[in-house]
Structure 1
Amino acid sequence: MLDTSLESEEGGDLVFTQDDLTAQALVVVDVQKAFITGADAVPDHRQLQGAVEILLENARAADVPVIFLQNDGVPGAVDEPNSDGWQLFFPPGVHEAVVRKSEDNGFDGTGLEDMLRRHGVRSMAICGMLSEMCLAATARAALEKGFTVILSHDGHATYDVPAGPGNSQAVPARMAARAAEWSLGDEIILLAAAGDVRFEAVRRA
């Protein structure tokens, strides 16, 4: 097996095997109508729609597990359960799972880990939103549980961050998304585009 060297955020080289660079599952985080359509959509919603569509197409072609996380917002929120905004933007396939959650971390209080372990998954691609919240929390938890996590730069999005206390400046959504990538550290595998993510089903003995 050949090793592939990637440049880390600190400028050094990280070494990953080809298996590390191949996703055995796709986890789609909170791609719900409230966040990706209409006036309240994230600024880069069209780019995100295209990237997630590519990931779904390639994951399905490789016959790997596809798992949708669906956030249950509090009463009155745009993603309140059973509201229009709560609905998933991309319809799951017949054999694809939907995991409902109420916390940022998609593993917290859900069956996500058991589902991945049951399929023998060791590496997963992740996409969705919001970059610095549910996506980052779920990716970080996956790393802590020993999964290899692959993220494409175009496969996640968030909102502009408004100006804050102490004369802090507003942060454009793309910069906030990039900062979220950075916060995940060197363990995550970051690729440029959704089309760069390779999928391969787990081979069972």
Structure 2
Amino acid sequence: MGRTALIVIDMLSTYEHPDAEVLMRSVRGALPGVEALLERARAADAPVIYVNDNFGRWRSHHGELLEAALAGPCADLVEPIVPDEESLFVVKARHSVFYETPLAYLLTQLGVRTVVLCGQVTEQCVLYSALDAHIRHLDVVVARDAVAHIDGGLADAALRMMQRNMGADIRSSREITFEEAHSA
């Protein structure tokens, strides 16, 4: 059956981009779902993997990215979901969590068969990551109340595409469990 891993996409952000205001409103709505998933995954001892943009800081590591996000004007959107000591971290430079990152290898090493995606942005990074997971023959679950968007219409369309074209299981964060994490 394989393990289930929680993938937290781009939630460690400084929100310094043109669409930040719109995105921050959506992130505030998604934050409780992300927090609930983190709590449930950690309680089940499931792998929790943060995959985050590097903001163009090519000499930085995850600690510096986290510090920058916590020092920014939207630290309240980051503090509730800070990685714990057990969390894994992958830095990405493009939209997909898989594109030129070691994530696929890491998931194989952990015996992961199912990925639960949460984070931002639904119609961009979450969509592309779901497609890349599907291409890699991983089962994909997307927590619809734990993803944030810039454009609500595109986000709804992206969720429908993930479900229809990629066979993604789209459901509420409270319906997602991580019991499979112990069957590795």
**TM-score between the two structures when normalised by the length of structure 1:** 0.71
Trace 1:66-105 onto structure 2 (pairs within 5 A): 66-74=48-56, 83-84=68-69, 85=72, 89=78, 90-105=81-96
Matched pairs, number: 164
Q: How many angstroms apart in 2 are the aligned matches of 1:53 and 1:23?
A: 20
Aligned-pair distance for 1:35?
A: 4.1
Task: Kindly indicate whether the alpha-carbon contact (under 8 Å) linking 1:23 and 1:125 is maintained by their aligned counterparts in 2.
Answer: no
- Of structures 1 and 2, the one with the larger relative CO (CA 8 A, separation 6+) is 2
How far is 1:60 from its partner?
0.6
- Counterpart AA for 1:137: Y
Q: 1:152 aligns with which of 130, 139, 143?
A: 143
- Aligned-residue Cα RMSD (Å) equals 2.6
8 Å contact kept, 1:129–1:157? yes
Residue in 1 aligned with 2:41?
Answer: 59
Structure 1 runs (4+) deviating above 4 angstroms are 85-88
Q: Give the whole-Å Cα distance in 2 for the aligned partners of 1:40 and 1:23.
A: 36
CA positional deviation for 1:25 = 0.8
Structure 1's 150 and 23: CA in aligned 2 closer, same or farther, altered over 3 A? farther
Larger Rg: 1
Secondary structure in 2 matching 1:33: coil
What residue is the counterpart of 1:129 in the other structure? 120
The aligned residue for residue 15 of structure 1 is none
Distance 1:157 1:183, change over 3 A: same
Structure 1: gaps spanning 5 or more residues: 1-18, 160-172
CA offsets per residue over residues 96-122 of structure 1, 9 Å max, x none?
Answer: 111100010111111111111111110
* Mapped partners of 2:166, 2:101: distance in 1: 27
Alpha carbons of 1:50 and 1:28: their partners in 2 closer, same or farther (altered >3 Å)?
A: same
Partner of 1:203: 183
CA distance in 1, matches of 2:44, 2:152: 30
Q: Secondary structure at the match of 2:40?
A: helix
Decide which of 11, 17, 28 is 2:8's aligned counterpart: 28
Q: Name the structure 1 match of 2:159.
A: 181
Matched, 1:114 2:105: yes
Q: CA deviation at 1:179?
A: 1.1
Please, which runs of 5 or more residues in structure 2 have no aligned partner?
A: 58-63
Q: Distance in 2 between matches of 1:175 and 1:54?
A: 25
SS in 1 for 2:89: strand
Which residue of the partner structure matches residue 40 of structure 1?
21
Instruction: Give the TM-score, by structure 2 length.
Output: 0.79
Amino acid at match of 2:21: D
